[in-house]
Structure 1
């Protein structure tokens, strides 16, 4: 196996970095817009100066056995005094998450919508499979381009059952229908399997949901439960409040939330000898006796590591079901009449931030807890309490409910009093929420307590999801 890495200082001028590289990690997930390439290298030959001047915004390309498997843009770099250097690049689909817009589409297929977006933003497009279904109308306000595409593909899947996978090949956006994969790599003991692990958890399972509405939090509301799950695992109930919903409107919300939460979290992880064709969305055949991982699986996440000695290994997370980033379409509400002055809104935001900050170091994290005034609670319980106390506004219980409130704004447009959401901290999808105190910082209640922290650097930057304005 031969690996080659090229750094492009211009469109037609490149430098081979292969001799300087100590490790290359190439990875992706079915729920992410783009694939990434993380490179570690010794960027010096004499210990005092850089061997190559590598800049953010420049292209990098990765080749394995002569085939280009990655083309992307460097978004961050880091160098140490001993010349140790690293950078992270993302393929061109990453820009879909960096641009927000409002668009209206009438009687168009998802494939046509994608071509329209590509044309408007100057995005190079490759193969775009015909998605077939004509979507009657989509009004998309303040959405990233990626979310627009995901909403269109979700609508298509719901109507046709067809799954389409977004990708990027040699700098061009591609869309291909996910069809049955007959040929699969076999990963098994004594051959190419290095190690495996399997885990199950009911920590986050909820088999009963109670939601109250217009009649108040102390009213009966609606309750839905799964008796079989309750008998097997014990009663675990989620409580939420939707102050503007009638009982009739609450039932479908409760059923949808129960379906989402009433799941045993299962995870199968495989370490194996690398095969460059195995990326997220593909299928593999696995046979491992100790863990019981056996049969055909979808690859949900993949991480390929290339070492200078020629070793290529991969770590993959696999699942019996294909996990996709599906976004439901919610027709926008009619815009409310704006006030003559924004002062009242600003005052509310100030009240929210001041109250949130007053709890720093004073509240202990308890999953599902909502006793903030008594010193315990969880992240969404904290945000609910602060908004209710400071503004009288009910933003709902639980991150799944709160992320549906207000409107999404870009990270660059964040203001004090906005909600900032994070994903993948302990489960896939939205899993944590905080209150923006100033651009780049928020107060949130986590296992480490109630703290003010950055959401643009460190741990939380890696789990950042979106920001929503609710006041």
Structure 2
């Protein structure tokens, strides 16, 4: 059973009995997880002692006594005289709201991100990333700086990383390491089964809308048209027509131009495939994880990256809707 605890004035208070529907979601393109819930409320003086949650408070999500994550209450909404709803985000929300100025000179990417987070007192656990970062950032959001550094890492190494707040610690891990096989059971006296066996309402879409089969790496200098490297796939061009992507780099990264061109082509020279489906909920299912799927009716077979995950708990029933991408 999922529970919400209010963390306020150094105390913990279980407010689960005052909460109706509960939902939380994550997205591969966003830093931070969103939590929302309905809250019992009326404007009579007799209910004031139960009007406990305020904007700026922190709550914690638990399941069967296991701590899952902290969230900050960002907004509350009144629904007439009766009922409130709250929207919360995990603590990485602050990284989306703070700008800074910082300079890196030949700093390993992981060390650069650690230095940035230390400025804001954010606890972190970061995978080693030796890519050297030399850049000055001014008036940029902390989250955007992290995203830019990770993009430089990807261009050099073809390795994607997942950034997320995990129990109050900002973690950055190789996405390829985040393969999960969530197992569930309906009750203590029933057999355990893979959650992916409970797929319902599956849909599958394939498209070349975002495909690129030629990549040109050029100088970011507006006064220069110098081409550092090119990469292309003649067979793909013959079949689908030429689809070109231009990548700009500064002089410091010109030596990596061939790698950047090859890695970008490898990433983008493929047919896009988007899957959506529902299944029994499991707390391990989060954006950035990789699932092994086997749904032969729609051909959803193999490894799929979770692009988004939307959990709901209503009347004690936990479900999750996911959007997947083939990897």
TM-score (norm 1): 0.53
Equivalent residues of 1:4, 1:63 under 8 A apart: yes
Equivalent position of 1:333 in the other structure = none
Task: Out of 178-187 and 109-118, give the one that drifted further.
Answer: 178-187
Structure 1 gaps, min length 5: 215-223, 241-251, 322-471
Q: How does 1:292-441 map to 2 (within 5 A)?
A: 292-307=299-314, 309-321=315-327
Query: Aligned-pair distance for 1:35?
Result: 0.9
Equivalent residues of 1:72, 1:171 under 8 A apart: no
Equivalent position of 1:192 in the other structure = 198
Query: Partners of 1:154 and 1:285 in 2: how far apart?
Result: 26
Equivalent position of 1:275 in the other structure = 282
How many residue pairs were aligned?
291
TM-score (norm 2): 0.74
Distance 1:285 1:262, change over 3 A: closer
Equivalent residues of 1:305, 1:312 under 8 A apart: yes
Query: Aligned-pair distance for 1:266?
Result: 2.5
Query: Aligned-pair distance for 1:316?
Result: 1.1
Distance 1:205 1:305, change over 3 A: same
Equivalent position of 1:4 in the other structure = 3
Task: Out of 159-168 and 25-34, give the one that drifted further.
Answer: 159-168
Equivalent residues of 1:187, 1:287 under 8 A apart: no
Query: Partners of 2:210 and 2:155 in 1: how far apart?
Result: 27
Q: How does 1:256-275 map to 2 (within 5 A)?
A: 264-275=271-282
1:158 aligns with 2:171: no
Q: How does 1:3-82 map to 2 (within 5 A)?
A: 3-10=2-9, 12-44=10-42, 49=47, 51-82=50-81
Secondary structure of 1:159's match?
A: helix
Distance 1:26 1:139, change over 3 A: same
Query: Partners of 1:198 and 1:6 in 2: how far apart?
Result: 38
Equivalent residues of 2:310, 2:321 under 8 A apart: yes
Greater length-normalized contact order (CA 8 Å, ≥ 6 residues apart) = 2
Report the structure number with the largest CA radius of gyration.
Answer: 1
Distance 1:302 1:201, change over 3 A: same
Higher strand proportion: 2
Equivalent position of 1:167 in the other structure = 164
RMSD between aligned alpha carbons? Answer: 3.7
Equivalent position of 2:93 in the other structure = 94
